Every structure is written in structure tokens, then in C-alpha cells.
Amino acid sequence: MTVLDAPAPHAAPRAPADARTALRLYRAMVVGRAFDRTATAFTRQGRLAVYPSSRGQEACQTGSVLALRPTDWIFPTYRESVALLTRGIPAEDVLTLFRGDRHCGYDPAAHRTAPQCTPLATQCLHAAGLADAARMRGDDVVALAYIGDGATSEGDFHEAVNYAAVRRAPVVFFVQNNQYAISVPIAKQTAARSLADKAPGYGATGVQVDGNDALAVHAAVTEAARRARAGAGPTLIEAMTYRLEAHTNADDDTRYRSADEVAAWSAKDPVARLERTLLDDGVLDAAAVAETAASADALTAALRRDFAEPPRRDPMEMLRHVYHQPPHHLREQAALLAGAADEADGADGDGAAAARGGEHR
Amino acid sequence: MTPPTVTLAKALNTALRHAMREDDRTLVLGEDVGTLGGVFRVTDGLTEEFGEERCFDTPLAESAIIGTAVGMAMYGYRPVVEMQFDAFAYPAFEQLVSHVAKFRSRTRGALPLPLTVRIPYGGGIGGVEHHSDSSEIYYMATPGLTVVTPATVADAYSLLRRSIASPDPVVFLEPKRLYWQKDEVALPVDTGPLGWAAIRRPGTDATLVTYGPTLPVALAAAEAAAEHGRSLEVVDLRTLSPFDEDTVAASVRRTGRAVVVHEAHGFAGPGAEIAARITERCFYHLEAPVRRVTGLDVPYPAPLLEGHYLPDVGRILDAVERLEWPATPRTSGAAA
């Protein structure tokens, strides 16, 4: 187990972030932490089918999002709830996937945020392709794909970094190395000295950064995005961090990691750390801390209120967006769902024709 | 004036060329599609005419080809990707099934993917293993994908144009053994929208339902049957999903008998679905159970054995003869 105390081999230079950026990061992290706590509480109340906690990874998620422009695209996984919230997606919509009424609770085009990806690393290719398309069109747009440490073993990760490097696509591959792929530790995932080390083999830039230092993450992603826009190709960032909760609420993390280990990483809590730094630097004072906590409380109170409403359920929606125009067999199944099947002559299997309103034998 | 003679491969090439001329959002990408013009020359000359940003060679990675095309389509392009051979598309299967097929649905229509995946498929060209698979059932079994396969030169042009223009992702299966088939066709030509079958030969006694590589086989069987007094109607599905039940059902209701002919495996193959739908729609019109003539249920064989694997005229005529005909005396025996 590596706990980063000293700068890593490829550590990004820690930029002297301006006070305004630091405060935005702090606020996003405090709000994200409160959101995460509320979502975890929802799982215990049975209001969410499942929730993969972001606790401990707030610096990675807020630091990366706030380093991008609103015109840039992000490609999140299921664990990027705090990143989505930081992007400006309403809290209730962030949780739609986990509540179970829709696969994606937000408009991806409007937020320039792809739907949360559950298969591992597949979205790295989407990010590479979108970034390449933006480059071909001459747009100043960067794509950032989030993955975890486990996903770096997947073929699509390698194909994406290779493709992006060959095509000089403006994409950032942002690995949150939270030390475990569910229960499998990083030492069983790779024999590489670091995940960032994989980048040079593809002709990409590799950077390792302290993922519990929001200012360092922000600086690393800012620099990677700058390089991407300048035509220097993709950067693979390995952010060293730790997931303080289990993989999801359904996982028992005591089976694979010790309380001592979790305690050691808890001591490096990224939210407390930034708060301490900003208080020491005089960027933050007690009043601002209280004000930030109050706005986080307001957000979670609103979320609890919104979640008191029953989830939306519209069975017809399943059939509505499969094709541009529903083919006849989906129109038949829509009729079945709508209860029109009774009117169709179902007994001899000719309900199909009746539902189409046309042919009769 | 006689129209020019065109091969099916050239018709596909012309379709790509015309689509790229008409809409600069149309991109072509894949392995060897640039300088070489594709191993079957379907992308011949496209890089020359449109430049390397419109038709380009990708790294040798099938999942990357389809996965990056997803991102390009998200950004407003209309990518047409080439998978070099049927069995080489399997590494990209996850992208196709988990993402291409589901993007419209997952995003409730916000991010439709107008992308076309061209896959040369099927055998009959003496290819070594992994170059002759009939993989259509995998795509047909995936909601969200449109699955198209031309069997004529005119359809090759027209259906590819229609596929590229489709707002939905299309798996466009090109029957390899028909690439060099020629016909007199003036391009451009429009043979109608996706989703419609064509009656290639009218008949009254039984319907042969087929598509792609086995259309010429079915037509030859119908010709042979005619010599023995059986009038067979031949329906070319053209689009496998969605499946044109109406045209097929109307034909079978007229003839009362049906044989489904395809090169893919029979067990849980395309014919199983087609036969089930015919039975549902035409049960009281059927004089006999629907029969299937298919490739054998084995991995595609070595090239010297493929003649035993592929459906041929003899197997089709044999299946036709098993359609429980009335025992009336006939002037000549059917081929077995």
C-alpha cells in the first residue's frame, strides 16, 4: 500500500492556485461530501437501488471538473456523482440512475456530460473519438474520461490511449487510483510501478498526482487540458487517492482491507485537508466555513424533499427511444403495454396486424 | 442506352463516394481503408478524393474503431466504419451491444448515434478460418440496431445510402461472395426505405424466404423447381431487423408453404425467428410446417469443406419436397 507523503515520480508541479479557484474547489467538495452522505443514507432507506460512494475522492472529482471549460466534455463512470454535481447537474438528476427509474437522469448534450458508464473503460474510446472529432472540426474542445485503477486492465483503455496518441486527440484520461477494484488491490491489478508509467509506451504524457490534494489535481488537469488544446495529444493522469467507503452499499469492505488502513487514509481526508490549508493561508475564515456548510445543508435538505416524491415511472418510455421510428414489433408491444392488446385478435397471433391497424386476413 | 455494368463492391464504393460528397459530416474509418482502399476495395479512392480527415486508417483495434465512432457521432459526424471481416468484429461486440445499440435509449433520444458499421460476412470464397462467419443473429438479437444486408447491386448502393442517412445505427452486412457479382445498373438508384423485403421471383406453390449470400442460391433453386412444375416465390428480406413480417406473411398466405434459407447456423439462427413469426401470422394458411435450410451447426469449416456446409440448390429442393404436398401424380420427379 502506497500512501503518498512525498511527491510521486511524475508529480505535477503544484500551481499556486488563486484564492477564487481554491474557494470554488472547497465549496464543491463540501457540497459533494454532503451529497454523498445523503445518497448513502438513501440506500439505507431503500430509496436508491445502489450507490457507489465518492467519499474520499472529492478532490479528484471537483479538481478535474473545475479545471475544464463548460464547452469541454466529460465521460463519467458510475462513481462520478460528485463530478456530475460539480458540473451543474441537479442533485436529483445525478441520482436518477441509482434510483432506478431511468438510465440517465440528465440531458448529456446540454451538460456536455456523457451518460454514466457502467462497463469499464468503454467510454475512454467515446472520449477519444469525440475529442478527435472536435480536433477535426477545429473546435477548441477537450474530452476528459474518468476511470478507476481496475479499468486500466481493460482492452478499451489501451485502445483508447493508443488511438488518442496516434491521432493527437485532445483528451485527458483521468485515473482515480483508489487502490481497489472492488476487492482486488492495485498490486494484483498491475505489475507496473505506476499507472502513469503506462502512458509513455503509447507516446502519451503520463502524470501522477496526489489525488487527495484538490489544488494539485486542478493544476494537473489544467495543464493536461492546455496541452491537449495546444495539439500535444493526450495525457494520462493517475490521481493517487482512496475510497473511504465500500465499493457500493452492497459491498463488505472489511473482508479485504483493514481498519488501520482506512484510518490512515482518513487522516488524509481531502476535504479536511483543503479546509485546513485555506484556513492557514487566510483564504477561508470561520464564517465562510459556516456559510459553506449551510449551503451544503440546504442542498441536501432540498434533495431529501425531492426524493420524498415517488419516482417517475412511465413504461411507454422504454419503447419510445429504441429507434427513431418504432418498428412494427415495438408498436405492437407498445399496444400491449397500453392495454390495447385486448382489442387486437391475440388468440391466433394476428394481434400484430390489428395493432398496426392495417392488414386482416 | 444500356446502363453500365457494375459490381456489387463498386456499387458500395459509389454509395460511399456519393454520401461523402453530399454531406461532409460523413467519415469513413477502419483498418486499411485509406491508401489500400480496403481489402475488398470498397473504400478505393476515397482518401484520394476526400483527404485523410474524411477517410482514414485507424490503429488495428476493432473496439477502438467502433468506440471512437461513437464519440464522433456524439459530436455530430456520421461515421461509416469498416470491420475487415465478420469474425474480426467480435472484439468490438461490447461497444456495439452495450453502447451503439443503447445510446438513444439511455439518453432518451438526446444522443442518437447515426453510425454505420459495414461488415463483410459469410463464406463461399475459400477463406481460412475466422473469415467466413455469418454473424447476423448476434446483431439481430440486439434491440436498437438495424441490420441490413443487400443481395443485388442496386440494393448494395441504395441500402448503403439509406443506412448512412438513417438516424439510427445500422449494422450493414456485405455478403463477401457477392462482391464481384455484376449487374447493369445506372447509379444513383433508390430501391426504397430500410425495413422492406422484396419479392425477387413470383410464385404460387411455396415461398423461399432468404437474404444476402443465399439469394442467388434460392433463385437457382426456384429455377430448377420450375422445370419440375413447382412454382416457388422468392422473398429477399434485405433488412433483417426490423423484419418485414407483412411482405413475408402475405407471400406465405398466398402460397401456403415456406422454406427459410440462410447460410448462418440453423439452431437458434435467424430462421428460427422467421419461422416462428410465419407460424404466428399464417398458421391457418400453412399446408405444412415451415422448414429451414441453413448452414450446419458447426464452426465454419475449412475452405475445402465449405461446399458441404453451405445451403445449395439440392438441399433447398429437398426441403421443398418435404412440404407435405398432396399425393397427386406428377409428370416428373423433383430433384433430391
Residue B329 lies in a domain: no
Residue B331 lies in a domain: no
Number of domains observed in the structure of chain B: 2
CA proximity to B245, closest of A327, A319, A348, A357:
A327
pLDDT, position A311 = 82
Of the candidates A122, A321, A348, which has its C-beta nearest B283's C-beta?
A348
pLDDT, position A328 = 92
Count the helices and strands in chain B (H runs, E runs).
12, 14
Residue B131 catalytic?
A: yes
Which of B152, B184, B216 represents a domain boundary (last residue)? Answer: B184
Per-residue cell: B73: 457521432
Residues 6+ apart with CB under 8 A from B80: B16, B19, B26, B27, B28, B29, B115, B116, B118, B164
Residue B334 lies in a domain: no
pLDDT, position B330 = 55
Choose the catalytic residue: A33, A47, A55, A243: A243
Q: What CATH architecture applies to the domain A19-307?
A: 3-Layer(aba) Sandwich (3.40)
The answer on B177 and B42 residing in a single domain is: yes
The answer on B203 and B103 residing in a single domain is: no
The answer on B209 and B177 residing in a single domain is: no
B189 dihedral zone (left: phi>0; alpha: psi -120 to 50; beta): beta
Of the candidates B75, B146, B242, which has its C-beta nearest A134's C-beta?
B75
| A-chain residue closest to B241, CA distance | A327
The answer on B92 and B23 residing in a single domain is: yes
pLDDT, position B327 = 85
DSSP state of A206: E
**Does the CA dihedral B228-B230-B231-B237 come out positive or negative?**
negative
pLDDT, position B331 = 53
> What CATH number is given to the structural domain containing B295?
3.40.50.920
Nearest CA distance, B216 vs chain A (angstrom): 28
pLDDT, position A312 = 77
- For cell 450446419, what's the residue? B296
pLDDT, position A260 = 97
Spatial separation of the C-alpha atoms in residues B31 and A166, rounded to whole Å: 14
| A-chain residue closest to B244, CA distance | A328
The answer on B253 and B206 residing in a single domain is: yes
> What CATH number is given to the structural domain containing B41?
3.40.50.970
Residues 6+ apart with CB under 8 A from A172: A64, A142, A143, A144, A145, A221, A224, A225, A228, A234, A235, A237
> Which residues of chain A have a CB within 8 Å of the CB of B109?
320-321
Question: Is A360 touching B (CB cutoff 8 A)?
Answer: no
Residue A55 catalytic?
A: no
Backbone angles phi and psi of B240, in degrees to 5: -90, -30
Spatial separation of the C-alpha atoms in residues B169 and B146, rounded to whole Å: 6
The answer on B280 and B213 residing in a single domain is: yes
Backbone angles phi and psi of B5, in degrees to 5: -85, 125
In this prediction the ipTM stands at 0.92
**B198 three-state secondary structure:** strand
**Cβ–Cβ below 8 Å for A322 and B107:** no
Amino acid at the residue B131 = H
The answer on B95 and B73 residing in a single domain is: yes
- What parts of chain A have a pLDDT lower than 70? 1-17, 340-361
Average pLDDT over residues B259-283: 98
Residue B327 lies in a domain: no
Residue B239 lies in a domain: yes
Range A347-354, long-range pairs (CB < 8 A, 24+ positions): A348/B283, A348/B284, A349/B279, A349/B280, A349/B281, A349/B283, A350/B280, A350/B281, A352/A328, A352/B245, A352/B280, A352/B281, A353/B281
Is the predicted pLDDT of residue B110 greater than 50, yes or no?
Answer: yes
The answer on B57 and B165 residing in a single domain is: yes
| Range of the structural domain that residue B312 is part of | 198-322
Q: B55 has which bridge partners?
A: B28
The answer on B146 and B16 residing in a single domain is: yes
Residue B287 lies in a domain: yes
A-B C-beta contacts closer than 8 Å: 154
Query: pLDDT tens, B53-105?
Result: 999 999 999 999 999 999 999 999 999 999 999 999 999 999 999 999 999 99
What one-character-per-residue DSSP string does B257-303 give? -EEEEEEEESTTSHHHHHHHHHHHHHGGG-SS--EEEEE-SSSPPPG
Nearest CA distance, B131 vs chain A (angstrom): 23
Residue A243 catalytic?
A: yes
Count of CB atoms situated within 10 Å of the CB of A288: 16
**Cβ–Cβ below 8 Å for A159 and B99:** no
DSSP state of B6: E
pLDDT, position B1 = 78
Biggest CA–CA distance in chain B, Å, is 67
Q: For chain A, give every domain's residue range.
A: 19-307, 315-357
The answer on B222 and B310 residing in a single domain is: yes
The answer on B202 and B163 residing in a single domain is: no
pLDDT, position B329 = 55
pLDDT, position A309 = 86
Choose the catalytic residue: B18, B131, B285, B308: B131
Spatial separation of the C-alpha atoms in residues A185 and A189, rounded to whole Å: 7
Write the burial class of residue B55 (CB in 10 Å: 0-12 exposed, 13-18 middle, 19+ buried): buried
Question: Is A88 touching B (CB cutoff 8 A)?
Answer: no
Q: Whole-number mean pLDDT of chain B? A: 96
Residue B328 lies in a domain: no
pLDDT, position A349 = 41
Residue B260 lies in a domain: yes
Is the predicted pLDDT of residue B151 greater than 90, yes or no?
Answer: yes
* Higher local confidence (pLDDT), A348 or B187: B187
> Which residues of chain B have a CB within 8 Å of the CB of A327?
195, 242
The answer on B210 and B138 residing in a single domain is: no
Which of B159, B184, B209 represents a domain boundary (last residue)? Answer: B184
pLDDT, position A351 = 39
